[in-house]
DNA sequence: GAAACGAGTTTCATTATTTGGAACCTGTTG
DNA sequence: CAACAGGTTCCAAATAATGAAACTCGTTTC
């Protein structure tokens, strides 16, 4: 039913269940009725009811009395504000992204890895002005995006295997890698080469070149990509930007390193 | 110690406690150590430890092994993406804000009420490009901001009283209203007049004019403000924008009304 | 207009989870 | 090397979550 990756393995207690419900509501992308959630969940009526009550009570969900629907609550927006500022690369990387976007004239994505999935934390659309949350916070698959593969390639063995296992391997296009083995092989190539490509593996006509952002100790902290469409640019065109991309990735890594919070 | 408003009255069960801890970490605004949290909380060591474990496990917190610190996790960013799109006025209001910002050439804020506090969901800075989460998600006090007072003024009796009770009444400036009675009186005036003002009540030199955004049934769904500084504009200058402000508020209300999700 | 229905809410004895004091690690400091 | 501080784990007692069933209340059906 859901071609996305499963995320929370084991439920840790009540909190885990509550957050699972929260995700369920959020994933819907629109206000949901109690019964709709009930149909999808394994929890009995009363349990689901109380979980929703608690979450609503806490402002994590908003309940529309008129329509009898639940939607993600504003408290999340408040919390995310902190999360974005602290745990994401975005604030630090902003200036570098801007510079790169202007230089290459293509769309730049900044992403981080969240449980095997790609979480876009910033986007720069050379031409148009920035779109807020409409882009930051979006998630995408790890196995068929440039940034996803770039980050996975540089994980250590355990985490890498874990990430490989979490993928959904849905064939979005004829070029999509659809087996763990194929992905693993591609990751090896990427690690050797230093950059990854999306060869229309996610959406037809969309290609990109991506590079990981690595800390001085070699840990993956994010990735950066230059995206374009086959109608605008050839693959060779992207290749031209390789140096600038790698340079920017390094710059961001450096900035992130030095800008650790004052303790 | 904390001059802000208390938010979650009673703890609902384990989930409530976990979210309380989450807030605590988020409010710090920087990575925190276990012991630092322990010192502030009433929970015993073991309990706090397990709550943090659970939250980290779930991706609501991120744990930095090297530094042994906790920070809000990326899962929040993902969730907030949904929340912002669904529960906030921002996506609908965007075009109207842009138009208004260009017309008046001042900073525009769009806010909603979250438990007596003002939550800014969008901002338009006529001149500069938009800053992402750095503005959206920010919270402010209700009793001494234009948008806060505008929203409170149009709540129904119960909610209004509740909101009045939740305020901290800290005297940020000599003009700040510091008693529930003074605030109530001001709210009456605002309700009669239709717009509210911030007369340097929050920050010296900063003034604004704000209007509520009301649904067709009269429910408060948000507020809108035009902000400037005394050095740039007089009070009368702001007054000039009253009509445009009210007009925009109405337009947004209309747009929000018709753009309810397809059920 | 009564009866059946569907969606949501509450009850209560049972069961499973959370609790927290204290003991236990483990790397640091005097 | 002993004392220590910041973390982590144990386990019996206390508490909170569970879920089948009963109950509202507003609709639809006969």
pLDDT value at residue A260: 57
| B57 CB-to-strand D distance under 7 Å | no
Please report, for chain B, the start and end positions of each structural domain, with discontinuous segments joined by +. 13-77, 88-258
pLDDT value at residue A72: 93
Task: Assign A4 a pLDDT band (cuts: 50, 70, 90).
Answer: very low
Sign of the Cα pseudo-torsion (A43, A46, A49, A50, in order): negative
Which string of b and e fits A67-93 if b means at least 16 CB within 10 Å?
A: eebbbbbbbbbbbbbbbbbbbbbbbbb
Task: Tell me how far apart the alpha carbons of residues A142 and A151 are, in angstroms, rounded to a whole number.
Answer: 9
With a cut of 90, say whether residue A80 has pLDDT above it: no
More confident of the two residues A204 and B11: A204
With a cut of 50, say whether residue A132 has pLDDT above it: no
How do residues A21-44 score in pLDDT, each as one tens digit? 999 999 888 889 999 999 888 889
**Which chain A residues have a beta carbon less than 8 Å from that of B72?**
79-80, 82-83, 86-87
**Strand D-contacting residues in B 66-105, CB cut-off 7 angstroms:** 68
More confident of the two residues A129 and A143: A143
- Mean pLDDT across A169-181: 94
The Å distance, CA of B187 to C1' of C14, is: 52
pLDDT value at residue A7: 37
Tell me if B208 sits within 8 A of B228, measured CB to CB: yes
pLDDT value at residue A126: 64
pLDDT value at residue B91: 85
Counting residues of chain A whose pLDDT is more than 70, the rounded percentage is 90
**Quick check: B14 and A14 CB within 8 A?**
yes
More confident of the two residues A188 and B156: A188
How do residues B23-47 score in pLDDT, each as one tens digit? 999 988 888 999 999 988 888 999 9
pLDDT value at residue B86: 83
| A43 CB-to-strand D distance under 7 Å | yes
The Å distance, CA of A33 to C1' of C2, is: 30
How do residues A197-233 score in pLDDT, each as one tens digit? 999 999 999 999 999 999 888 889 999 999 998 888 8
With a cut of 50, say whether residue B178 has pLDDT above it: yes
Mean residue pLDDT across chain A: 86
With a cut of 60, say whether residue B110 has pLDDT above it: yes
With a cut of 70, say whether residue A134 has pLDDT above it: no
User: Which phi and psi (to 5°) does residue A241 adopt?
Assistant: -90, 0
Compare CB distances from B136 to A77, A79, A83 and report the shortest one's residue.
A77
How do residues A85-111 score in pLDDT, each as one tens digit? 887 788 889 899 989 998 998 889 999
**What's the gap in Å between the CA of B20 and the closest CA on chain A?**
9
- Mean pLDDT across A161-179: 93
**What's the gap in Å between the CA of A204 and the closest CA on chain B?**
25
What is the residue-wise DSSP string for chain B?
---SPP---S--HHHHHHHHHHHHHHHH-S-B-HHHHHHH-SS-HHHHHHHHHHHHHTTSEEEETTTTEEEE-HHHHHHHHHHHHHHSSHHHHHHHHHHHHHHH-SEEEEEEEETTEEEEEEEEESSSPPP-TTTTT-EE-STTSHHHHHHHHTS-HHHHHHHHHH-----SSTT---SHHHHHHHHHHHHHHS-EEEESSSSTTEEEEEEEEE-TTS-EEEEEEEEEETTT--HHHHHHTHHHHHHHHHHHHHHHHH-PPP-
With a cut of 60, say whether residue B132 has pLDDT above it: no
Which range, A77-91, A156-170, B11-25, B140-154, has the best average confidence (pLDDT)? B140-154
**Which chain B residues have a beta carbon less than 8 Å from that of A261?**
30-31
The nucleotides of chain C lying under 7 Å from a protein CB are 6-11, 17-23
The Å distance, CA of A89 to C1' of D23, is: 53
**What's the gap in Å between the CA of A85 and the closest CA on chain B?**
7
| Residue closest to C11 C1′ by Cα | A46
Specify the CATH number of the domain B88-258: 3.30.450.40
Fold of the domain spanning B13-77: Arc Repressor Mutant, subunit A (1.10.10)
pLDDT value at residue A128: 54
pLDDT value at residue B5: 32
How do residues A50-77 score in pLDDT, each as one tens digit? 999 999 999 899 998 888 899 999 899 8
**What's the gap in Å between the CA of A123 and the closest CA on chain B?**
10
Compare CB distances from A12 to B29, B58, B73 and report the shortest one's residue.
B58
| A15 CB-to-strand D distance under 7 Å | no
Mean residue pLDDT across chain B: 86
């Amino acid at each position: 039913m859901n071609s996305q990756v499963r995320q929370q393995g084991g439920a840790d207690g009540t909190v885990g269940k509550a957050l699972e419900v929260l995700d369920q509501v959020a994933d819907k992308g629109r206000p949901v009725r109690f019964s709709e959630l009930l149909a999808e969940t394994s929890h009995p009526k009363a349990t689901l009811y109380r979980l929703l009550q608690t979450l609503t009570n806490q402002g994590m969900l908003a309940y529309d009395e008129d329509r009898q629907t639940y939607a993600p609550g504003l408290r999340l927006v408040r919390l995310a504000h902190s999360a974005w500022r602290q745990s994401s690369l975005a604030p630090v990387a902003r200036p570098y992204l801007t510079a790169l976007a202007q230089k290459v004239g293509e769309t730049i994505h900044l992403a981080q890895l969240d449980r095997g999935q790609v979480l876009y934390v910033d986007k720069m659309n050379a031409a148009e002005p920035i779109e807020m949350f409409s882009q930051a916070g979006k998630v995408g698959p790890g196995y068929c995006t440039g940034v996803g593969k770039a980050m996975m390639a540089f994980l250590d063995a355990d985490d890498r295997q874990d990430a490989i296992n979490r993928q959904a391997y849905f064939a979005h296009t004829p070029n999509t890698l659809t087996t763990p083995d194929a992905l693993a092989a591609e990751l090896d190539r990427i690690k050797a080469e230093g950059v990854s490509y999306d060869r229309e593996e996610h959406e037809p006509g969309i290609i990109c070149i991506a590079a990981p952002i690595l800390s001085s100790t070699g840990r993956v902290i994010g990735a950066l990509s230059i995206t374009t469409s086959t109608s605008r640019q050839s693959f060779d065109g992207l290749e031209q930007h390789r140096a600038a991309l790698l340079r920017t990735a390094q710059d961001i890594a450096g900035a992130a390193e030095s800008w650790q919070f004052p303790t």
